[in-house]
Structure 1
Amino acid sequence: MKRTVEILGIPFYNVSQNAFVDELIDAAVNKERRFIVTANPEIVMHAQQDLEFNRAIQQADYIVADGIGVVKAAKSIGKPLKGRVTGYDTMLGLLEKANEMKMSVYFVGAKPNIIDKLIEHVKCEYKGIEIVGARDGYFTASDSEAIAEDILVNQADFVFLALGFPRQERWISTHLDKFDRGIFMGVGGSFDVLSGCTKRAPDFWVRFNLEWLYRILSQPSRWKRALAIPRFMLAMKKQRRHG
């Protein structure tokens, strides 16, 4: 049984970044199905208010801590996690392994020009990967069924969705029962970074767990989203008091 740490009702899988990638690769090799949610404080707080979204992510096989706030929250209740497990680093790790093992990938999400650049980058840098499908994120509910069918027909080993939350998690939750294999994971803005269209925070910011601040400074429009952090801290304070 996998070990989890509950933060505001969300069970976080206690695993290291590298061990998690290895675990997912094993599942893919064995043609198993997995649904992964990479959750930060913003996602945790959204799940408190949106019960439909909460139900969707509770279906996941793994919810991992993509956010230093979650890691610190676990430590504050005396149940430390092994560290952050980010969507971007998990995707990179899986692509590297998939490249070595000549596995297949399907990409869904982002703007049309970004998905085109992403495909170009993956074909150049990961020559062992078979891209069995790709679709930008501008599609309707009726298109959704066709995309799911295409993924099913092509039997992708890995399906990465860069639709932003809560849309990407809802998409996976809605269509998951159609599949009996494949690693499904929402990766937010990771296509923008991997394609080279957006820069990831420099190493200094990553090392000191300040990626969130770097994103706000480089994209001021995100400041409203950052308000979830103090709300999360307040909710954790209440959990500690009553826990």
Structure 2
Amino acid sequence: MRKLRKLTCFILFVFLLVYIVNAQLLKNNGNNGLNIGVETIVGILSEGDMGAYVVGGKDYEVKVINISDDRLVMFSINGEMTDELADGETDVLADGTQIGVRDILVTGKDIQKSIVQFYLVDYFSNESLEQLMEMYNSNVEKAPAVAKFFKNERVNLYIEKIKKASISFVTKDGKMITVTKGELENPTVNVYTDMETIENIIRREMTFTEAMETGKITYKGVGFFKSIKIAIAKLGLRIYSFFAH
């Protein structure tokens, strides 16, 4: 299984965002040797063909339903239909696995079948999320004082520009008690970011504070009083970041 530490470190980073944790803590965590599994499989199929793949220990039967002259492809994966996808576009299956298109070769029906290169990736496997929860809980005590505002929360984290990509977690008395793929009903906090920001932070081309101040990472409380709590926490973040550096 291919290990992609950077995505996992960022997910942990956003988890600890709710507790307003120092970016230095996350840099240290990124070098502590813990690898979280994220598996990617690449495939090439012709229009109408089918292939069998295993990602994250799960079996996937992928069939290319149609490749249009406009370079749009539609898949059936274990009977689940995707949207029409162009080069570089992605869709997310009901179980959280992502399918993406790398390249489409339209050859003309009379010559040979059109071909698509695609990938399947399991970003949020159950094993990964369990390890994230363990790491989170082992570092909560390092959070600054503003963390007291977020001891009991229901949080949805949305990876924007990747359709339906979200994970959620629940905290109680400062500890994470559940973490799952998908959205929670009745969240108290919503967090938003995108893959470009993930890459920039992990490569240290952008700091956590910069991402917050420029709106690359946003989070907001659900409801009036929760929004006030978030506003206070943002102020605490600025003060904490000033003295931390």
TM-score by length of 2: 0.29
Greater helix share, structure number: 1
Higher relative contact order (CA 8 A, sep 6+): 1
